[in-house]
Structure 1
Amino acid sequence: MQVEKNVVISEFIVNMEDVLYHRDNTDVNIAEKVAEQTASLAHYGVAHYVLTNATNQQDSDNLHIVQTDLFEHYPKLTLYFYRILMAFDFLQAHPEIEKAALTDAGDVKMLNYPFDAVEDGILYMGDETIFIYDTSILIGYDGPQFIKDFIWENGHLPILNLGIMVGTRETLIEYLGIMVKLITEAELSLAQGNDEAFLGTYKMAISNYVAYYYFKDRLVHGNQVSTIFHGEQMVSGAWFKHK
C-alpha cells in the first residue's frame, strides 16, 4: 500500500475495554465514527488513515481503514498504549510519509492545513487548560518512580494531550519510539515478576514525561496546534479543533 506524503493517522481499537470512557466498541461502523474528522480533512485534500484491529470495514473517498493485528504478548496493556504501538509500526512501515498528524479518531477536526508550517525536528502537540498538578490521573499515578519524580517536579507544566500530535515522520518515530522502548522494557520487567514496572492504565503520564524530558527544547503546543480543549471553537487559527 502506497501512502500519501502528508497524512492524518488515527487509531480505532475494537473489542477491548475502554477503561476511561466505558464506550461500547463492539460491532462498530468505523467510517461513521470518524466521519466528522474525515470530512474536515477532505476539505484540504488530506487522506485519513485509521488503524484498527476490526475486520470488514469499508474505505470511502479519502478514508482508508487499515486492518492491523494487535501485538498480543503484552497482557497488561490497555487500548491507550496499543494505539502508540500501532502508530509507531505504521510510520515505520511507510517511508513515503513525510509529515503526519496523529489524532484521536472521533473528536478532532482539521480547521487549517498544518503541514506547510511543520518544521524538521519539532514535535507539535495539543494541550489542555490545566496543569499537571491539577490532573487526578497524574497526581494519583502509581507507576515507576522515575515518572512519579517527573510529575512532582513539574507540576506547573500544562498537560499535553496525545489526541493531537504533528511532526515529520522522523520526529514522530523518535517520540513514539522512546515510548515504545519504555513500554517494552516495562512489559518485560512485569513478565519477570516486577509489578512496580507497570506503566499504568492511561498514556498521559508516559506521553507527557517523554515530550517534556526528551523534547523540551523542540516542543510546540498551544494555540498554533489546537483550539482550547473542550472549548468547542469552530473558528480559530489553530490547525485542529479538539472537542
Structure 2
Amino acid sequence: MERWVGRVALVTGASVGIGEAITRSLVRHGMIVVACARGVDKIQAMKLELEAESACGKLHPIQCDLTQKDQIAAMFKEIKKEYKVVHVCINNAGISFEAGLIKSNPEDWQMVLDVNIMALCICTQESIKLMLENKVNDGQIIHLNSMSGHRVVGESFYCGTKYMVTALTEGLRNELRAMKTNIRVCGISPGIVETEFAFRKLHQDPAECTFYQENPGLKAEDVANQVIHILQQPAHVQLHDILMRATEQVL
C-alpha cells in the first residue's frame, strides 16, 4: 500500500457498516479519505478516534445526500479546492426497500435508483474527470456491488439495480481501455454482511432483529480487506469482480 500513502480516496456511505470499515482501513494505511454521508456526526466521531490512535492518514468528512445532484456537485467542488484530485473512488453507498415490481411505488424505486445507480455513475464520472485533469494514470474505481447483482434472491428491484452495477463495471472497463488509460475498475459483490443494512431494510430495532442470528454473514472488515487487496495489485493486474460470501451462506 506504500504507493497510496498521502493520496486521496473518496468513500460514499462512509458513516456506518462497510463504508465505515473501508474508511478506517484506508486512513490507517496512510490515505487521505474524503468520507461522505447524509449525516456526518458518526464520521466526525470516527475522525477523532483515528486521530487519537495516531493513524497515519487523514479523514475529511463531507455531508452529502447522494440523491441530490447539486450536493454531489458541491462535494466535488470541495474536493477539487482542497486536494485537486481523487485517486481512488469507492462507490459504497447503497439502499434497499421491500421494493418488488407489483406492490411497490415509483417513489421507492426512484430513491433506490438515485443512490445505487445515479450517484455511482456521477461520482465515477467526476472522479475520473479529476484523474484525467491531473494526469493520474493509475487510479482505481471500486463499486460495492452485491451477490444480488449475479443471481436474483430477495427484492427484485434491488437485484435489478445491482445487475446494472455489474453491467456498468464491465462497460466502464471497456471505456477506459478504449481511452488507453491504466485507470482500473473493480466490483466487490458480497453476500450477507453483518451491518445495519438489514435493520434499515426491515425497519426493525437492532436489539429485536434476529436476521443475522438466522443468517450468519461476513463482517464489514472482510469487505474492507478486499479493497486493500485490490489496491495492492501491480499495474498489469486488474481484478474485475470479487464475489464473496460467508462459508455458511447457501444462496
Task: Give the TM-score normalised by the residue count of structure 1.
Answer: 0.36
Task: Give the TM-score normalised by the residue count of structure 2.
Answer: 0.35
Task: Name the one with the larger strand percent.
Answer: 1
Higher relative contact order (CA 8 A, sep 6+): 1
